[in-house]
Structure 1
Amino acid sequence: MKVLILTCNTGEGHNSAAAAISQEMNRQQISCDTADALSFISERLSKIVCACHKHVYRHIPQAFRAGYGYSEKHEALFSDHSVIYRALASGTDNLRDFVEAGEYDLLICVHVFSALMASELQRRCELPVKTMFISTDYTCSPSMAESQMDLYCIGHRDLAQEYAENGVDPARLYASGIPVRREFTQPQDRSGARQALELPADGKSLLIMGGSMGAGPVEELTLKLLEQRPEDCDLTVICGNNGRLFEKMNNLEVRGLRVLSFTRQIPLLMAASDLFITKPGGLSISEAAACHLPLLCMDVVGGCELRNLDFFKARDWADSRPDTAELTRTAISWLTDPDILAQKKQQLERDFKVSASERIVSAAKELTAGRLSTLAEIQQLRLAEEH
């Protein structure tokens, strides 16, 4: 089996999901490559889309919120006659050439754009390849009805009805969970992580992050927490790719404050922490849940992230507050009450036990072997055991 993962550079979450699947494929000695789907249209377009997405997300979040709401209410936005769909379809010939040259057996799409491109590829060319969509949010993305994938791996079994209502064949749904890297599903123990990061063995640690783009009121929240935190609490603030935020935060000379830009040490930082405050991106909260790290969320851009937040709150996997003052009060309350943190951690330990990446790779094997019925039987047995 040879696999091509098609990602999209609109936020780091899709690339993180691709990396998690690729890691598990490599661990199981399956040949796997990753490519930016939009680059098959043009490298320049891919860079423009990425830059625009980053600017809107960070500086005009209300526009993202409004745009997502509009796309949910106007299905024709992604229909095969729409400007967006035609633009995506323009990369079909280049994608076909790449797939044929690479002799791939399976295309895995971790973004709705790449799913639409792969669907158009199969409509036109009917290549001897299978296709999978991997959801990176706890909701059904707008335009799913326009895609035609062989299998849809979704974040949770409770989302199946939503996908079906949005035009996806229930027989093609597989409740895999959202894939995260093994460093999150098998994290280092807390004491070892704290030692590796040169943090005190005792005391509490609070981790704050606004996603890969450093979005949201990170600076305001950090300043409030520094004023009110317990004496034995240290703070780590991750600014992601937001250079301006990093420069401002890094100028603060405060005991017990660590400021980082984009870092690959997230699994270690999560393992060392007692509480995580973040925006509810699908990958960020899935990584924290896999680490069994209690979560407080700030609603920054709405849209799919608000759906993620609602899904997690409904299952007591996370909580949120409407502003930085309330977030600060709640964070301090949790950090000074070991019973609350223990309860939150135990809930995540009960509900996040299995690697979604392993489930996805198993599903990929069954799909390429033409055993979808076996996959359905496996899922039914697992769901019965979980109930």
Structure 2
Amino acid sequence: MKKDPCILILYSSFGEGHIQASLAIKNRLASMGVHKVHLVDPLAEAHPVWNAFSRFCYIKSMSWLPGAYGYMYSRTNRVKADETHNKLIHQIGKGKLKEIIKRIKPDAVVHTFPFLGTEILKDEGEFTIPTFTVITDFVLHTRWLHEHTDRYFVATEALKQELLAAGIGGSRIIVSGIPVREAFEKPLSKENLIRKHGLNPRSKFALVSAGAFGVLADVERVTKEALRSTDFHLIIVCGRNQKLHDHLMAIFGEDPRVIILGYVSYMEELMAVSTCLLTKAGGLTLSEALSLSLPVIVYRPLPGQEQGNAETLYARGAVRIANSPGELTKELLLMQKLPNWYRIRAAMQALYRPEATRTIADEVIRVTQQTDLPIPAVTVRASRKAVRVHGYR
């Protein structure tokens, strides 16, 4: 290994999954003795006010105007990767990114968010740094694609086939899985965790995760439906949505079957003690559940990549989808029947790719050692037919 290789990981705060995937890769590199790893949010660095406003609008759109977000997602997914629209998006903050790269002098750049400013700089002849893209969803959007990306890491073989259809050479695609924190890949004792958290060992728990920003739809209604229809005790994680936390505490705070939490850093422990997970369909959350073979119900998946994630895993039998309170009741009751529960777990185990962070970190370091890395000429031809469009059409 090159002495003290320097790795730059570019992420975005638009979604918690991008941050967590980046941290997982950084921690894995650290365990390999690579300590010069820089995590940078290039959009926040270049345009902090605009980035904060855009992030606020993105989060609110999940609750207020999900259809509008889904429509924009689908429309932009029909734009070819090398068209002006995508090139302009990747140009945002290019000057600041160029400054960061010159200052840090990385031996490799890893993207965990579809902002590919480094590829634009390579296109312009500014740098020849190896670049890697970790796609943090189970579906493809054209914004992830660029002809100068040296390696793509994807969740499934099906996603690899989508990239091949979009014109990406097979030697550039590695089916690694989506990187999760090391804690999700270590053995966990349910009995010990039950005692640690003071839970009743005779109860069955359904874990309700509203996401890092607490935007899962109808949490109050979901809770009432689960309490009315099933024997589950509920652990509700509200993320950073203090308003949601306080609202639920006012309604369910005295109910012995309900535990209400804010943002937690030990989701793996809560998942390990639970029978099923009711959540939104973020790529990282679904990957964490896959790592523990924890059956998932996605409630009212948001149009866009989350709907695509849910539909992709549903087709493989690895998650269930509920679009109404009635469907939710049906799915929760299904989770209480062991044959169904075991069948979903088996489908999750067949789909999961263990040690994604190790696969990614090993390849990044391997490629950085090759000073004469060949870069095949590839034309990205992501058309309407090449890339599936999820959500509103």
| Common fold by TM > 0.5 | yes
Give yes or no for the alignment of 1:14 onto 2:2.
no
- Three-state SS of the structure 2 residue aligned to 1:143 is helix
| Distance (Å, rounded) in 1 between the aligned partners of 2:120 and 2:353 | 36
Q: What is the Cα deviation at residue 193 of structure 1?
A: 1.7
Q: Give the TM-score of the pair, scaled to structure 1.
A: 0.89
Q: Which has the higher contact order (CA 8 A, sep 6+)?
A: 2
Q: What is the Cα deviation at residue 353 of structure 1?
A: 5.5
Q: Tell me: CA distance 1:71–1:80, structure 2 relative to 1, closer, same or farther (3 Å).
A: closer
Give yes or no for the alignment of 1:3 onto 2:1.
no
Give yes or no for the alignment of 1:96 onto 2:98.
yes
Deviations 1:165-222 (A, max 9, x none): 2343333111111110111122422112212211112221100113212222222111
Contact 1:58/1:213 (<8 A) preserved: no
**CA RMSD, 1 decimal:** 2.0
- Three-state SS of the structure 2 residue aligned to 1:241 is coil
The answer for unaligned runs of 5 or more in structure 1 is 374-387
Counterpart AA for 1:175: V
Contact 2:287/2:352 (<8 A) preserved: no
Paired position in structure 1 for 2:243: 244
| Distance (Å, rounded) in 2 between the aligned partners of 1:309 and 1:354 | 20
Contact 2:334/2:341 (<8 A) preserved: no
Paired position in structure 2 for 1:68: 73
Q: Please give the residue correspondences for 1:11-50 in structure 2 after superposition, counting only pairs within 5 Å.
A: 11-31=15-35, 32-50=37-55
Q: What is the Cα deviation at residue 242 of structure 1?
A: 2.2
- Three-state SS of the structure 2 residue aligned to 1:161 is helix
| Distance (Å, rounded) in 2 between the aligned partners of 1:209 and 1:99 | 37
Q: Please give the residue correspondences for 1:247-286 in structure 2 after superposition, counting only pairs within 5 Å.
A: 247-251=246-250, 252=252, 253-286=254-287
Paired position in structure 2 for 1:180: 180
Counterpart AA for 1:19: L
Q: What is the Cα deviation at residue 352 of structure 1?
A: 2.6
Q: Tell me: CA distance 1:350–1:81, structure 2 relative to 1, closer, same or farther (3 Å).
A: closer
Paired position in structure 2 for 1:142: 142
Deviations 1:47-105 (A, max 9, x none): 12211111111221111111111112233xx65633x6435424223212212221211
Give yes or no for the alignment of 1:325 onto 2:330.
no
Q: State which of 110, 113, 116 in structure 2 corresponds to 1:111.
A: 113
The alignment covers a number of residue pairs equal to 365
Q: State which of 48, 61, 64 in structure 2 corresponds to 1:59.
A: 64
Farther-moved stretch of structure 1 (315-324 vs 163-172): 163-172
| Distance (Å, rounded) in 1 between the aligned partners of 2:167 and 2:52 | 31
Contact 2:313/2:319 (<8 A) preserved: yes
Paired position in structure 1 for 2:378: none
Deviations 1:134-157 (A, max 9, x none): 000011122334452111111112
Q: Tell me: CA distance 1:353–1:140, structure 2 relative to 1, closer, same or farther (3 Å).
A: closer
Paired position in structure 2 for 1:385: none
Give yes or no for the alignment of 1:229 onto 2:239.
no
Paired position in structure 2 for 1:352: 352
Q: What is the Cα deviation at residue 350 of structure 1?
A: 4.2
Counterpart AA for 1:190: K
| Distance (Å, rounded) in 1 between the aligned partners of 2:274 and 2:303 | 26
Q: Tell me: CA distance 1:358–1:234, structure 2 relative to 1, closer, same or farther (3 Å).
A: same
The answer for unaligned runs of 5 or more in structure 2 is 375-393
| Distance (Å, rounded) in 1 between the aligned partners of 2:83 and 2:94 | 13
Counterpart AA for 1:217: D
| Distance (Å, rounded) in 2 between the aligned partners of 1:359 and 1:36 | 23
- Three-state SS of the structure 1 residue aligned to 2:235 is strand
Paired position in structure 2 for 1:159: 159
Counterpart AA for 2:294: L
Q: What is the Cα deviation at residue 346 of structure 1?
A: 3.4
Contact 1:208/1:236 (<8 A) preserved: yes
| Distance (Å, rounded) in 1 between the aligned partners of 2:44 and 2:72 | 23
Paired position in structure 2 for 1:380: none
| Distance (Å, rounded) in 1 between the aligned partners of 2:162 and 2:271 | 31
Q: What is the Cα deviation at residue 35 of structure 1?
A: 0.8
- Three-state SS of the structure 2 residue aligned to 1:287 is helix
| Distance (Å, rounded) in 1 between the aligned partners of 2:93 and 2:75 | 25
| Distance (Å, rounded) in 2 between the aligned partners of 1:340 and 1:190 | 21
Q: What is the Cα deviation at residue 363 of structure 1?
A: 1.2
